[in-house]
Amino acid sequence: MPGTKNMSIGAVVAIVGMLVIGNTLAISARGYLLVAYGAVLFGGLQFVIGLFQFISYKRKSPKSSANIQVDPYVRAILQAMLSTSIADGELDEDEVVAIAEIYIQIFGGEIQASWIQDTAKSMLSDGFDIGKTLEGNAVLIEDSMKPVILRAAYFVAAADGIIDDNEKKMLLTIADALKMEQSEIDKTFEELQPLAT
């Protein structure tokens, strides 16, 4: 991960420098002290540079990047929204904005537009199959959370005011993969229908 190498090297150099200072204080070897202080300053500076690199990297990633990898609900809701957004083969700016806003509303953390765009492109090029992915994780997702995933995907599809055939097909694929009851799917679509035509 960016910055960790600089942080490690900087910490080691600074610690060694401090040890040298501690050992040479007793014999007052002024020349050695000057070199040791330089090591401490250099090591401290490298550590700070590494820390800034690490923080910068973390800010470019979604705030809950660790949760995206571990929590099946977080992962499913993002994958469902992204899959719906690229159902027509491209990612529109209004869909990027919708995904970011929905993510904030649900999880309270921010997600970078660049991450959304890069992940969507990767999913397109890799031929990502949301149906198979959700089917494999459906048992890990609580039933009460499944309508939320479908609603989030629907909001993204309706971001431009129109839900086309590809987006409708994707929404049904998501609902089926989550093993939702047909009555629950119909109820969700009825409630959300005024958002788009």
Q: Are residues 117 and 75 located together in one domain of the fold?
A: yes
Instruction: Give the CATH number for residue 160.
Output: 1.10.3680.10
Q: Are residues 14 and 108 located together in one domain of the fold?
A: no
pLDDT in tens, 153-173: 998 998 888 888 899 999 999
Q: Are residues 179 and 100 located together in one domain of the fold?
A: yes
Q: Are residues 144 and 183 located together in one domain of the fold?
A: yes
- Domain with 191, as residue range(s), is 65-195
Q: Are residues 56 and 71 located together in one domain of the fold?
A: no
- 94 or 57: whose pLDDT is higher? 94
Radius of gyration of the chain (CA): 25
Q: How many structural domains compose the chain?
A: 2
Q: Are residues 156 and 91 located together in one domain of the fold?
A: yes
Residue after which a domain boundary falls, among 13, 35, 60: 60
Q: Are residues 29 and 116 located together in one domain of the fold?
A: no
pLDDT in tens, 109-128: 888 899 999 999 999 888 88
Q: What is the DSSP string of 104-153?
A: HHHHSS---HHHHHHHHHHHHHHT--HHHHHHHHGGGS-GGGHHHHHHHH
